[in-house]
Structure 1
Amino acid sequence: MQFNRVFTAFSALAGSMRASGSSRALEIDLGDFNQPSAAERAMMGVWVADGGATRLSLLPNGRYDKTLETGRDIYHGRYEVDGSRLYFEGDTGRTAIGETRRGILVLGDHRFVRPGARSAA
């Protein structure tokens, strides 16, 4: 029965806190939850590999598109950023892990760079 006394004490404490009027309503700006972090913003945008033959677009909404130079779509899905690592999950269920090192995004056997940067080879 010890638990019952503790529970009753907490209930009384919570009731007195509400009654004191010293607390105010909790304000949460839900819009901030959808804002990309600094690490995510650094990764967003277009990355190119294989002399421009493969393009990877990391979108602000956490989605990605991987296309060929011809415009043919290869993969679509979602991604998450954790520091220098990127976790990809395709709409088909395929998963991959990428990592950035000195401006190069390594994803499987591809090396992606920003357009105009040095070669990904």
Structure 2
Amino acid sequence: MYCTAFLDTYVLTNLINNDYKIMNKTIEETKEYIGMWVTEDGHIRHELLPENRYDETRGNRKSAYRGNYKISENHIDYKDDTGFTADGEFKNGILYHAGMILYKEKK
């Protein structure tokens, strides 16, 4: 018994391209930035809220900094309520911000 198989390269190319797009989505596209980001020692707790606001706790000082943020691809820009600005980058599930390294808190 023989079997003949045909390779549809058009379908194969689309499958590969779609898998690549799914695997390489930006944090802006996935919205995975929303939630609590924490330094390894737990001293800084940086909550990114869904309505593009953030609230940062430093040690025992709750809401030490509050303000707005904007996500563009894997970049984040902050502007706190006093007008101070800062930025950061998301790389491999880690937030690099103002010399700090923050990890997403697991629920």
TM over 0.5: yes
Residue identity opposite 1:83 in structure 2: E
Q: Give yes or no for the alignment of 1:113 onto 2:93.
A: no
The aligned runs of 1:86-101 (5 Å cut-off) are 86-101=76-91
Query: What's 2:44 paired with?
Result: 54
Large movers: runs of 4+ above 4 Å:
none
Q: Contact 1:86/1:98 (CA < 8 Å) preserved in 2?
A: yes
RMSD between superposed Cα atoms in Å: 1.9
TM-score, structure 2 as length reference = 0.67
Unaligned runs of 5+ in 2: 1-26
- Which blocks of at least 5 consecutive residues in structure 1 are unaligned? 1-36, 117-121
Aligned length: 80
SS at match of 1:39: helix
Q: Percent identity?
A: 31
Please, what TM-score do these two structures have when normalized by structure 1? Answer: 0.60
CA distance in 2, matches of 1:106, 1:54: 13
Q: Which has the greater radius of gyration?
A: 1
**Which structure has the highest helix share of the two?**
1
Give the drift of 1:72: 2.5
